[in-house]
Amino acid sequence: MRILFTCVPHPGHLLPVLPLARAFRGRGDDVAVLVPASFAPVLSDEDLEVLVAGVDMGMVVAELARRGGTDPVGAAPQADEMEAFARAVTLDIEVEVFAGARVDLSIEDSVLASREWQPDLVVHDSYDYVGPLVAAALDVPSALVTLGPEMSPAFTQAASAKVAARYEARGLAWRPAAWVLDICPTALQRDEWQAPGGWLPLRPEAYRAPDGASRREAQPLTGQPRILVTFGTTFTSPQVVGPVLGDLSAKGAGLRMTLGLTGSAEDYEVEHGSVMFEGFLPLRQLLADIDLVVTNAGAGTVLGALAEGIPIVALPQGADQFLHADRAVAAGAAIQVLPPAFTPDAVTAAVSTALGQPSFRENALRVAKEIAAMPAPGEVAATLASTLNSP
C-alpha cells in the first residue's frame, strides 16, 4: 500500500503522527510525508519518502498579515504580558491560519505532488485542512490523527465553514475522514465527549529518535527532585522561564531545561551549574529519570509525561495548551498555574504540592496504565491495511 502523511508544518503536529508512519513503513508499505521545503530536514533521518509541497508557517503568518490580520505567534512575551499574549489568538485568526491562508497557499502544488505519488490513503493531523482536500481531489480515503482531547466545537464548525469554499471552488464535496485515530486516552477527554464515527484509539508515544540515527543522551541530574522544564519549540521565553528556573534551582532541585529549536543557555540568567540545558532531544530521552514535568502543556509533552506516569505542573500560555492543561488537571495528574498568577513563587508552590501529595503520581500512573492498554501504532496500521485491502 501507499500511505501519504500530511500535517501542519510544525514539530508539535508532525511528531504525534510519526509513530504511525513508522509502523506502516515497518510493514513494508510505501510511506511518504508531504511537507514544505524548509521542513524537509526534520525528516532527514527517517526511512520515509519526502514530498516537497506547500508553505511553512512563516509564510502563512506573512499572508495573514497581508490580508489584514495579525501575527498569531508574535514575539516571546514578557512575564507581565502573558495573559494578553495567551488571549491574542482569536477564533477568527486561528481559523484563517489553518483553514484559510495555509490551504490557499499550499493546495495546488500539494495536489499535484500527491497525484503524481498516487497514495491509497491520506493520513493527516486534526488541524491540517490541506490533507483532507488532497484526499478529496484524488478520491482516496483519509484518516485523521488527533493531537489530544477533542477540539473546540466552535473551531471545528468555523474551520469547516471556512474550508468549504475551497472545496466548492474545485468542484469537490467535503467528506469526513473514514477513520479518527485518537491518541487521547478517555481519562483526558472532555466531559461531554462521545466517540465519533470511524473512531480507533491509537497509543500515543513520546517522540524517540529514528532507528539508526546518532543518539546523544540527556545530561544526568544530581539534585532532588529531578524536574524537566520544557516549553516546547515555540513558546520558550527566557524572560518567562528564567525566574522559575532560578527559584527552583535555589531550592536544590535537579533541573533539565529544553532550549527549543533556536534557544541558547546564555539566554538565561541563572547559575548554569545548577541547570542542565538541552538542545533538541527526543522527549523519551528527556523523561528517562524525571520526577515531575513543568511545561506549557503542549499536547506531546502532556501525553508523553503521562504515558510514563509522571505528574505535571502546567503553565499554559496559548494555542490549545489551556485545553491540555485543564484535562490533565481534571484527571488529577496535574496542577496548573494560570496567568496572571504565573510567578516563581506560585510555580514553586505548585511543584511542592504536586510532589508532596501522592495522589498526583497515583493519577498519572492510572492514566499511564490506560495509555499502555491502547492499540499500538503497529496494530492500528494493520487494522487500516486490512480494511483498505478488503473487497
pLDDT digits (tens, 9 = 90+) for 75-107: 434 433 433 444 456 788 889 999 999 999 999
Nearest partner of 344 among 230, 224, 247, 237, judged by Cα: 247
Report which secondary-structure segment, H or E, holds 159. Answer: helix 153-169
pLDDT > 60? residue 351: yes
Strand partners, 145: 125, 181
The C-alpha cell that represents 222 in the structure block: 544530581
Q: Which amino acid is at 126?
A: S
- For 116, phi and psi rounded to 5 degrees? -65, -35
| pLDDT tens digits for range 130-176 | 999 999 999 999 999 999 998 888 999 999 999 999 999 999 999 89
Nearest partner of 332 among 371, 360, 302, judged by Cα: 360
Number of continuous H segments (helices) and E segments (strands) in the chain: 15, 13
Residue-range domain boundaries for the chain:
2-204+375-389, 226-372
Listed as own residue / partner, the contacts of 81-88 with beta carbons closer than 8 Å and 24 or more positions apart are: 82/240, 82/317, 82/339, 82/340, 82/342, 83/339, 83/340, 85/317, 85/318, 86/316, 86/317, 86/318, 86/322, 86/339, 88/318
The C-alpha cell that represents 246 in the structure block: 532560578
Q: Identical fold at 2-204+375-389 and 226-372?
A: yes
pLDDT of amino acid 248 = 85
Q: Which CATH superfamily is domain 226-372 in?
A: Glycogen Phosphorylase B; (3.40.50.2000)
| pLDDT tens digits for range 304-314 | 999 999 999 99
How would residue 212 be classed by pLDDT, with cut points 50, 70 and 90?
low
CB-CB contact of 129 with 8 (8 Å) = no
382 or 278, greater pLDDT? 382
pLDDT > 90? residue 116: yes
CATH code that applies to domain 2-204+375-389: 3.40.50.2000
- State mean pLDDT over 344-366: 95
Nearest partner of 153 among 121, 126, 185, 114, judged by Cα: 126
Taken in order 186, 192, 194, 196, the sign of the CA dihedral is: negative
Model pTM score: 0.90
Percent of the chain whose predicted confidence (pLDDT) is above 70: 89
Output the average pLDDT for the chain: 88
pLDDT of amino acid 77 = 42
